[in-house]
Amino acid sequence: MFYDVIVIGAGLAGLMAAEAAQGQGAKVLLLARGLGSLPLTTGCIDFLGYFPKTTETPLSAPLTVLPRLQEEYPHHPYALLGQEKIVKAGELFLKISREIGLPYEGSLASNLFILTPLGTFHPTCLFPESMKDGSLSDPDPILLLGFPGLKDFSPFLAAGLLNVLHSAGKVAPFFRAEVVPELALSGKAINGLTLAKAFDRRDFRKDFIKKVKPLIKPGERIGLPAVLGFHSFREALNDLQENLLAKVFEVPLPPPSIPGIRLWQKLQGRFRERGGRMIIGLPPLYPQKEANRLSGLALGSSGKSLVYKASAFVLATGKFFGGGLDSERGKIFETLLGLPLKYPDKRKEWSNPFLLAPEGQPFNRFGVAVDKNLQPIDHDGQVVYANLFAAGGILAQGDSMTEKSGGGVAISTGYWAGRNAAAVK
Amino acid sequence: MKTNIDQCIKCSLCNAYCPVFQATGLFPGPKLSGPDAERFRLKGKSLPGDWLEYCDYCKICSRVCPHNVPIPELHMRALLSLRKKQKPSFRNWLLGHSYLLEKLGRLGTPVSNWINTWAFFRWLLDRGLGIDRRVKMPAFNSWTFTSWFRSRPSKTGEPIAYFHGCYTNYIDPALGRDVVEVLEKNGFQVFLPRQECCGLPLISNGFFDLAVSLAKKNLSSLQAKVGEGLEVIFSSPSCGMTLKEEYDSLLNIPGAALLADHLLEISQFLLYQHGQGKLNARLNPLNETLYYHVPCHLRALKLGLPALELLSLIPGLKVIELPEGCCGLAGTFGLKKEKYSVAKEVGEELFQAVRDLKAAVVISECEACRLQIAQHTGVRTLHPVQVLRRAYGE
C-alpha cells in the first residue's frame, strides 16, 4: 500500500493537489472522512471578492490589489505564493475544466458579480458557462423563475430585494419574478437533485419550455435556480437557450449545490480515470512518523490496522467545518497531526461578538502556518515534517468567509502543494 | 450512545447523498427524519412512522455528515421503538426470520425451489403478503456450508474461526468453501463457532427481543473462541457490521464492544497477512477485467477497500471500481412490494454503469448487492475472495 503522494481531504484543495501530483507522474491516494466540501459551494471559484478585513467595497479587479495584500498581510496564502504562481494555477484550473467537459470562464484579472437567492450580489471570479449570462453589471433586464415546491428559491424575495439595490444604483438590471406552473416529477420529492435529474431528460425539458415560453418578455435574460441538469447539463442549457430564444443562467442555491456536485463528480472522475485511488468515509487516521518525516497513516489503533504509506503527504483537511481544526475550552488544535498553531491566548479574542463584523471572525484566520513551499512550520519557522505539505482552508490567515477567497486559495495552494509533494523522493 | 443531534448544522449534505431521498417522495430525507424529528421524539410526541421504513440503512448519510450526527442510529432506534407498540405484519415476520425460512427451504429442496419459481405461488405472495413477484428468489441449496464442512477431514494449522452467516450457509455454500480453502492454503485451520443468524433482518423488521437473544448466543460462542486465542473472520460485511457495531450501539449487549477488535473481514485479514510477509503469494495469473461494487455496509465498517488492494496482487487481473452508490436491495428492503421500485430506482445508476461498461462479472462482498445487481443486469456475480481462490488454483 505504497503511494508516492497521499492527499488527505476531498475538497477543492485536496482534489487540485491530487491533480497536480498526478500531473507530475506520481501515484496518488486520496483519503477523506466524508465526500468533501464542494456540494456546499456555489460551484464558482471565488478568488478575492473583498480586501482582507474590509467588506465595504467589493473588488472589481482582484489582481491589482495583490501587491498591497502581500505588503499588509505577508503570511496570507496569496502573499506566500506570489502572483505568478497564483495566475498559473488559475489558468490550469480553466484548462482542466475544459478537459473534463465542464468549461469555466473568467479570469483572475476581474470579478463577476452574480446574484444570490437572498437578493444580493456576490463577487466571484471563475464560473461555469451556465452562470455567465447572469452578470449584475449588465443592464439587460432579468426575469427570475422559481419552481413550485422548491423551498430554497423564492424569485419574488430575490427580485424585490435586488430591485431595491437597483434603485440605489448598486446593480445594473431591473428584475421581474414568476413561478413556473406545476411540473410533474412522477412521485419524487421536489428538491435540487431530483429537479436536476429531471432536466437531463428531453421530454421534461420540452414540457418545461412550453410552460415557460409565455411568461418571458422580449429582451429579458432568464435566471433559474441552479438545477439545469445533472449529467447532461450542457445539453440542457443549450436546449433551453435555443428554444426559449433568450439567455439563460443559473442562480446558485444553498446546499446541496448542484453546480458544486457537478464539479465534484467531474474532478473525482478525472482523478480516478488517471489511475488515482480514492477512499472515502474513513475513521480518524493515526499518523506514523520516522524522525522528521511522516511515514504513513494507519486506519486504526490496533496492530492489525491497515497502514497507508507514501513518500509525501498533503494535508487539505479544512478548518472547523471540514474537521481539520477543532477546539476545546482552552485550546484550538489541528486534528490529524497536532501541528503547532498560533492563536490568541484569551478565549474571548477568538471571536467577534458581532457575527457579521466587516473585519471577519478571528477564528476564520486560525490554521497552520506554512513557508513559501507550503510546508507547515513551527513557531520558530522550522519545517515540522520534511515530507508534509498543506493546502486550502487549513492554512492560517486566509479568511474565505469575508474575503470571498476560498476557491482561489484552494486551487492555488492545492496545485502547488501537490506539485511540491510529487517532487519529494 | 449519546444522541448528538445538536451537532447537526442543517448543511443538507445527508440529503444530497441519500439514495432513497432521490428515488422517492415517500421519504423526507435523513435531515428531517433523523435529527429534526428526534427533537419531537425526545419530547415524547408521536410522529407518523411509515416513512421511517423507507430508510434503507445504507449509512451514507452518517458518512458524509461533517459533524458525526448518528442519523442511521436515530432512524433504527425510532423504528424499533415504534415496532414495540405496533405488531409487525406477517410479511415482515417472515422476512425478518429469513434464517428460519432458509432452513425450511433447504429441507424442502428441490420442491421449495420449484414453488418459488411457480408463477401462481409468487402471485399469491405478491397480492397476499406483499413480497414482490418480480424478485428472483435465490435458490436453496440441497447441501449447506456447515454440512460440507463437517463432512471433510480437517486440516492442521494455525487456528482461526469463521462466522459464515445464514446466506453463505444455506444459499451460497460455495462461497464458504472458497473462504475455508483460501485460509487453509495460508496455513490456517478453520473452526466454526456455534452461530445463529447475526440478527440484522430481525432488527430492520423490528424484532428487537429475538435479535438480542440471538446476539447473546453469538457473543458467548465467539467470546469462547477469542478466549482460546483465535481471531474471527467474516465474509459478509452486513453480518460483520452487525456483530462489530450494532450489537453494542443498538442492542446494548454487554461485552460486545470488546469483541469488535477480534472480528476481521476476510480481505482485511489477508491483506494484513500480506503486510506481515505471511500471505501465500503463489497466485496464478488471471487475465481478465472485473468490476467491483463497494457495499454500503463495507464502507460503514471504515476499513478502506482491502479487496482492491488484495486483488491487485494477482498478475494480469484488472479490477475497476463501479461508480459509488447504493445498490438498493438493502437486505429485505427491496423484496417488499411497496419498496421494490424504490430499490430499483436507487440502484439504477449502478445498473446502467454495469450495462454501459458491458461488464461480464461484478464482484462485491455483500450477498444482497450480488443478488440485486444480478437481478437487474443479469451479470455473473462473485465475492472477491472467490477470485483469489481461483488464482490459487488446485
Please tell me whether residues A168 and A96 are part of one structural domain: no
Please tell me whether residues A215 and A190 are part of one structural domain: yes
Please tell me whether residues B49 and B120 are part of one structural domain: no
Please tell me whether residues A242 and A277 are part of one structural domain: no
Contact (CB<8Å) A185/B23:
no
CB A303 within 8 A of CB A415: no
Residue B309: which of A1, A33, A281 has the nearest Cβ?
A1
A326 touches chain B (CB under 8 A): no
B234-268 pLDDT, tens digit per residue, is 999 999 999 999 999 889 999 898 898 899 999 99
pLDDT of B193 strictly over 90: yes
Rounded to two decimals, what is the model's pTM?
0.90
pLDDT, average across residues B197-221: 91
Contact (CB<8Å) B275/A280:
no
Q: Assess if residue B353 is contained within a domain.
A: yes
pLDDT given for residue A164 in this prediction: 96
CB A339 within 8 A of CB A368: yes
**Number of domains forming the structure of chain B:** 4
Please tell me whether residues B292 and B371 are part of one structural domain: yes
A69-109 pLDDT, tens digit per residue, is 999 999 999 999 999 999 999 999 999 999 999 999 999 99
Please tell me whether residues A280 and A386 are part of one structural domain: yes
A307 touches chain B (CB under 8 A): yes
Distance from CA of B47 to the nearest CA of A (A): 20
A148-201 pLDDT, tens digit per residue, is 888 889 999 999 999 999 999 999 999 999 999 887 787 777 888 889 999 999
**Number of domains forming the structure of chain A:** 2
All residues at 6 or more sequence positions from A287 whose CB lies less than 8 Å from its CB, including other chains: A294, A296, A297, A298, A336, A337
Contact (CB<8Å) A282/B302:
yes
Please tell me whether residues A234 and A276 are part of one structural domain: no
Structural domain including A188 reads 141-246
Please tell me whether residues A192 and A314 are part of one structural domain: no
Please tell me whether residues B186 and B158 are part of one structural domain: yes
Structural domain including B190 reads 145-273
Contacts of A197 in chain B (CB under 8 A): 22
Q: Assess if residue B134 is contained within a domain.
A: no
Please tell me whether residues B388 and B287 are part of one structural domain: yes
A304 touches chain B (CB under 8 A): yes
pLDDT given for residue B4 in this prediction: 67
- What's the distance, CA A69 to chain centroid? 21
- B271 grid coordinates: 491483506
A92 touches chain B (CB under 8 A): no
ipTM for the predicted complex comes to: 0.83
Please tell me whether residues B34 and B150 are part of one structural domain: no
B271-327 pLDDT, tens digit per residue, is 999 988 999 999 999 999 999 999 999 999 988 899 998 999 999 999 999 988 899
A177 bridge partner residues: A144
Residue A255: which of B16, B24, B321 has the nearest Cβ?
B16
| Residue whose C-alpha cell is 468490476 | B291
Contact (CB<8Å) A280/B11:
no
Q: Assess if residue A237 is contained within a domain.
A: yes
Residue B66: which of A189, A306, A321 has the nearest Cβ?
A321
The three-state secondary structure class of A229 is: coil
Nearest to A244 by CA among A216, A225, A219, A202: A216
Q: Assess if residue B225 is contained within a domain.
A: yes
Contact (CB<8Å) B304/A39:
no
Distances (CA, A) of A178 to A148, A158, A223, A245: 10, 11, 10, 18
Residue A299: which of B17, B300, B304 has the nearest Cβ?
B304
